[in-house]
Amino acid sequence: MKAKVLINRENILSTIDDRLYGSFIEHMGRAVYGGIYDPSHVMSDNYGFRDDVKALVNELKIPLIRYPGGNFLSGYNWEDGIGPIDSRPKRLDLAWQTIETNEVGIHEFMRWAKELRIEVDMGVNLGTRGIDAARNLVEYCNFSGGTYWSDLRKKHGTEEPFHIKTWCLGNEMDGSWQIGAKTAEEYGRLACEAAKVMKLVDPSIKLVVCGTSISTLPTFGSWEQTVLQHTYEHVDYLSLHMYYGNHENDISNYLAKSLDMDRFIKGVIAICDSEKARIKSDKTLNLAFDEWNIWYHTLDTDKQIEKWQVARPILEDIYNFEDALALGCLLITLLRNSDRVKIACLAQLVNVIAPIMTETGGATWRQTIFYPFQQVSTFGRGKAMLTRVVTDTYDSTDFSNVPFLESVVVENEESEELIIFAVNRSTEELDTALYLQGYNIQSIRECSTMAGHDLKAVNKKNQEFIRPIPNRHIRQNDTCIEVSLPALSWNMIRLKI
């Protein structure tokens, strides 16, 4: 089978916001306790955070991390996580039916993120709490001093404000599972008032208002419309959440699910722009896809895990090869919408539906999905090009006209390279010609692929066999670059320009 990828140097889609490669750490499962934090581990630093986990996080080049939830956020009292660790309360976390020890709170997490040079995207609880707790938290984190909350921060050892720039106004407030779930009307009013006071404390902050938590909810669309009617001029981003999975064990349908992500994003953009038109605003609202990933392996099995333990090991999906391909399609979809999606958070980072796995007290390893994310986050910086893909298509159970080739091209001026990301959804090899108008291609720096594995094969401790390897089937001719993309493969090509 044959395909073409065409770009023209003049046709730029967007300057990619680095925060497109954000991630997420929630107080749930073994993400924090037994994940990033494990004080008795031999590799832990003086504060109890694992250096071996930090090293893997560093490999992912994450610019931003959403914290502390998630569903956890909607029942969380942030004040429980400040002050002397020994006197912090142990609480029931009703969202995940776990015991929360509060050993890690704002100061500990901010120190960890600062060391890794990751910006924190902090959530305020709009489930059980409201505008008072939200404004106090902004004052605690961002006000310089001389007031009750800012002085308390200093008393707890942090003289300089944390200067947290991005804040989430609650989490998934439309979901019936959410503690303190609200109607669109109730949430829209509350989010608007919380936004106002938070920006009164610190006018420089940027706010993310909750959109739909799953695009299949019957309230999708009307939720956004109502919430934006209340908040449009007070917020900076609207959130989207979505998880995919191969529930029906049908690879062609599974790999097509990125088309649903694309439709979802375009639908939300249309809703934002219709509100902009209605109120005649000059402001264009951008999107924060602040939870996205593959999540399905543990949906049933987690029900058997004993409740009310600390660090209950839930959502520990072990990803296989086909999950890496599906994730690659989702990453390309985010890039193809990067003119409006400015923040995205792979949910989550460690142990909980995560690219990085740990044993509590033991080893770490990279899951299959680690690699496409790492390659895109490392090299997919700069400008996303309007990328035309000419390819045959197929129909699957839920989708029509699915392109066999999913691809996007990025130009990185700083490193003087063009980077092509591509997934071959077909079970045949795809001979692909890259026509790169306006560029002088000097050399092929790298051509790598993840291919040829059993679709259900997984990585394990000391067995990270599913990873990119060189693809030598690439050559440059007078008019284009020709590359053969293996059947069912994730690919990255880097060209020096």
Tokens of 367: 């899951």
Reported as type and span, the H/E element at residue 421 is strand 417-424
Q: Which residues make up the interface to ligand AHR (CB under 6 A)? A: 26, 69-71, 171-172, 213, 291, 347-348
Q: Measured between alpha carbons, how far is 370 from 368 in angstroms, rounded to an integer?
A: 5
Residue with smaller CB distance to ligand AHR, 96 or 399: 96
- Residues 255 and 331: their CA atoms lie apart, in Å, by 12
Smallest gap from Cβ 189 to ligand AHR, in A, equals 22
Look at residue 465 and give its three-state secondary structure: coil
Q: Identify which of residues 291 and 417 has a Cβ nearer to ligand AHR in the complex.
A: 291
The residue assigned the tokens 């958070």 is 345
We find the least distance from the C-beta atom of residue 439 to ligand AHR, in angstroms, to be: 40
- Shortest Å distance, C-beta 298 to ligand AHR: 11
Instruction: Name 428's Cβ contacts closer than 8 Å, sequence gap at least 6.
Output: 1, 487
Q: What is the closest distance, in whole angstroms, from the C-beta atom of residue 72 to ligand AHR in the complex?
A: 6
Torsion, Cα 403 406 411 412, to 10 degrees, reads 170
Nearest distance in Å: CB 26, ligand AHR: 5
**Closer by beta carbon to ligand AHR, 48 or else 127:** 127
Q: Which is nearer to ligand AHR, 190 or 347 (CB)?
A: 347
C-beta of 186: minimal distance to ligand AHR in Å?
Answer: 19
Q: Smallest distance from the beta carbon of 465 to ligand AHR, in angstroms?
A: 27
* Contact status, residue 377 vs residue 65, Cβ threshold 8 Å: no
Q: How far apart are CA 208 and CA 215, in angstroms?
A: 18
Characterize 304-330 residue by residue with b for buried, 16 or more Cβ atoms within 10 angstroms of its Cβ, and e for exposed.
ebeeeeebbbbbbbebbbbbbbbbbbb
> Phi and psi for 2 in degrees, rounded to 5?
-120, 155
Q: Are the C-beta atoms of 358 and 364 separated by less than 8 Å?
A: yes
Angle at the Cα of 480 (from 478 to 484), degrees rounded to 5? Answer: 125
User: With respect to ligand AHR, which residue has the nearer C-beta, 93 or 406?
Assistant: 93
Q: State how far the Cα of 101 lies from the Cα of 80, in Å rounded to an integer.
A: 9
DSSP assignments along 165-186, one per residue = -EEEE-S-TT-TTSTT---HHH
Nearer to ligand AHR, 95 or 410 (CB): 95
Cβ proximity to ligand AHR: between 213 and 407 the closer is 213
Catalytic residue among 26, 100, 291, 411: 291
Q: Are 63 and 22 in contact (CB under 8 A)?
A: yes
Under 8 Å CB-to-CB from 325, ≥6 apart: which residues?
Answer: 255, 423, 425, 450, 488, 489, 490
- Residue with smaller CB distance to ligand AHR, 271 or 346: 346
Backbone φ and ψ for 467, nearest 5 degrees, come out as: -160, 165
Catalytic residue among 100, 108, 119, 172: 172
CB 256, CB 209: distance < 8 Å: no
Q: What is the DSSP string of 229-290?
A: HHHGGG-SEEEEEEEE--TT--HHHHHTTHHHHHHHHHHHHHHHHHHHHHTT-SPPPEEEEE
Task: Output 56 or 242, the one with its CB closest to ligand AHR.
Answer: 242
Give the residue at shortest CB distance from ligand AHR: 70
What is the nearest approach in angstroms of ligand AHR to the Cβ of residue 44?
25
172 is catalytic: yes
E strand or H helix that includes residue 372: helix 370-379
Q: How far is the CB of 357 from ligand AHR (least distance, A)?
A: 16
User: Is 414 marked active-site?
Assistant: no
Q: Other CB atoms closer than 10 Å to residue 52's CB: what's the count?
A: 17
Active site residues: 172, 291
